[in-house]
Amino acid sequence: MRSHPRLPNRSRHLETVLAAALLLLLAGCAPAFPPPDSGADADLGAYLEQELDWVKCEDTATSAADAELFANPALQCASVEVPLDYDDPEGERAHIALTRLPAAGEPEGSLLLNPGGPGGSGTSFVASTLPLWQASPVAERFDIVGFDPRGVGSSTPALDCYTDEEYDAGDVPRFGAVYDITNAKEAVELAERCADGSGGIANLVNAGSTSVVRDMDITRKVLGDDQLTYLGYSYGSELGAMYAATYPEKVRAIVLDGAVSPDLTASESRLSSFAGLQARFHDLAAHCTESPDCVLGPDPAAANDRLHEIVQPLVETPAPTTDGRDLSIWDAYLGISGGLYSEKKWPDVISALTALEAGNADEMLALRDTFYARTADGAYGQDFDTNIAVRCMDSPRPTPEEQTALAREIGEVAPMFDLDVFTAGNYHSECEAWPAPPTRGEPWLAEVEGLPETLVVSVTGDPVTPHEGGIAMSRALDGSLLTVDGKQHGAYLLGGSKCVDDVVGEYLLDLESPPTDARCSL
């Protein structure tokens, strides 16, 4: 998704990027994957020996809002060359964008980070969270390096299926319980759009997580690190776990925050996420009923039905806004879902629903825009085109019967979504016509041996990657687990908890793992 820069809005951009850094995993998960051949790295000599050219960042931004953030003189930017196709290292090349906050003191290495997605920009994340990093002791001793995975942000080739203007108009595959793709023709049209907009099939089918993990290893090497120090949020936990399984001897420290469960199939993971959102909606409804004029009514048990009453008119008639765009039923649910990511956003959801019932859709559209990281200049910071491309290369593809059954089951585990427009149709997978088979299987995490101590941070009331998944991830990696009491997706630096930040900081800096049963709160 690309658009032309216009006037930026810095404060709103910070909010949208922070929210989008923890992208909703509802669009799918996925597999046991083969590690590179033992001699594969021998073919990558030229890539491993390249030297980075760190420069100012103004010219690397893809939106006006990012350009303002990237103008900060504390930041440096560079690009890493990687093979487009690792089976053909002498062929076409891709470029992975990096943004670095150099260590305030003598650097001991780099902390490579991914904020989630697939589709989240690590370069934007570093730029947006710069004050948090500058106040962190980790940034005293480590360079903080965000990267844009292939297809995202400033990395090339870009993966584009639809323009920002088409996302504004809703002329894209829409996501409720599953994508609203109802026949084979629509699946073919999606695959063709993505191949054409991404510069060809080769660019599209090399976007999966297995390629990103190998990109990470080249990046580690050219950053000058013998071993990887890594922080991954949400989907970024998949990348970190896959890296650990592929290159265990090259791991120094790995923090996985809001970890995806390695024990679940793609469909099971999606159901788990919807169940988590439903649990947080129930909590929101209970909070709302503390007010006598709660838009969801006095009984939390009836909140699903009240929600349906409020939003049902949007199914037939999207609501106009002062922005000039119409709010659809899909927009409303994306806005509500994004607002459930953090307890701090619940008042915004309640206010938006109250305004929507009164005939004003502006607040709900703003929540929807925050979910997409859409900035005031009309640019989309969260790349759902890349999200689809990565998931299609990561996950086994359900049959129409399986996809339809999944939609029905989502309606059962998350009745707030149980509208006919989301769950009563016949659905095809968005990946059904993808031009290459997936590169991962299920389960998606290979057995890991010889791995140093890792750290999983898991919030008990995480609405998207439930706490049970964090427990499973720590078990799979035989690592430490920091349990965090709260209701939010992601905790380190973003949760405002000194306890969490101290535990993670001690691990990253000095490899000091927390004791068994360590616990913090948000």
Tell me the catalytic residues.
234, 462, 489
**313 bridge partner residues:** none
CA-closest candidate to residue 252, choices 498, 485, 46, 511: 511
Angle formed at CA 496 by CA 233 and CA 284, multiple of 5 degrees:
80
CA–CA separation, 234 and 496 (whole Å) = 18
Nearest 5°: phi and psi at 186?
Answer: -65, -35
Q: For residues 473 and 483, give the distance between their C-alpha atoms in angstroms, rounded to a whole number.
A: 13
3-state secondary structure (DSSP) of residue 519:
strand
Indicate the length of the chain as a whole number. 522
Do the bridges between strand 319-320 and strand 93-101 make them parallel or antiparallel, or are there none, so unpaired? unpaired
- Which residues make Cβ contacts (< 8 Å) with residue 100, sequence separation at least 6? 54, 75, 76, 77, 78, 110, 126, 143, 144, 145, 146
Residue closest to 267 by CA, chosen among 431, 381, 104, 386? 431
Q: Determine whether 201 is exposed, middle or buried from the number of CB atoms within 10 Å of its CB (0-12, 13-18, 19+).
A: middle
Which two three-digit tokens encode residue 76?
Answer: 């440096």
Calpha distance 341→30 (Å, rounded): 21
Which one-letter DSSP state was computed for residue 248? G
